[in-house]
Amino acid sequence: MKIATVSFFLILALIGKTASLKCYRCSWQTYEGKEYGPVACKSPFSANSTRVTEEICRQNYQCRKETSAVSGSDVITRVSRGCTPTCEEKCMDGTFLGSAVKICSSCCSSDLCNHAGPVTLDLVAMTVLVIATIVTVF
């Protein structure tokens, strides 16, 4: 009986993961004091812009938000949001052609989750798994 209960809860947790993921898609940047792309895409984010769209990701893709900044004689800032096949939560600092560069990526796996910074837990899946564990133990 306990195996059937745990199996039921695990299947419930996984059902949401097989459906297609939906992410915000947009790109914004500044270069030489001019802005390109929807201002709503930058931080703070606003999904109300007509130029910020929603895209359905391919299976096993994640949502991503990437920010990059290059400082030097011309400051360049870029924010990009969308679907990606691979994503790693990280920030990298370096130099390119004598200018300081910082690139940060955040990843998440729930619908329209790439509106802000990193999202690391799928709350529904975690809740279902905790309930399944409690039912199994008691």
Residue 56: what residue type?
A: I
Residue 131, pLDDT score: 52
109 burial type by CB count under 10 A (0-12 exposed, 13-18 middle, 19+ buried):
buried
DSSP 20: P
Residue-wise pLDDT for 2-17, tens only, equals 554 444 443 444 444 4
Structural domains of the chain, with CATH = 21-120 (2.10.60.10)
Cα 28 from Cα 43, distance rounded (Å):
10
Cα 108 from Cα 15, distance rounded (Å):
17
CA-based nearest residue to 13, from 132, 137, 109: 132
Residue-wise pLDDT for 52-101, tens only, equals 999 999 999 999 999 999 987 677 899 999 999 999 999 999 998 888 99
Residue 70, pLDDT score: 92
Which residues does residue 89 pair with via DSSP β-bridges, in sequence order? none
Which residues does residue 62 pair with via DSSP β-bridges, in sequence order? 84
Residue 50, pLDDT score: 81
What mean pLDDT is predicted for residues 37-56?
Answer: 87
Cα 51 from Cα 56, distance rounded (Å):
16
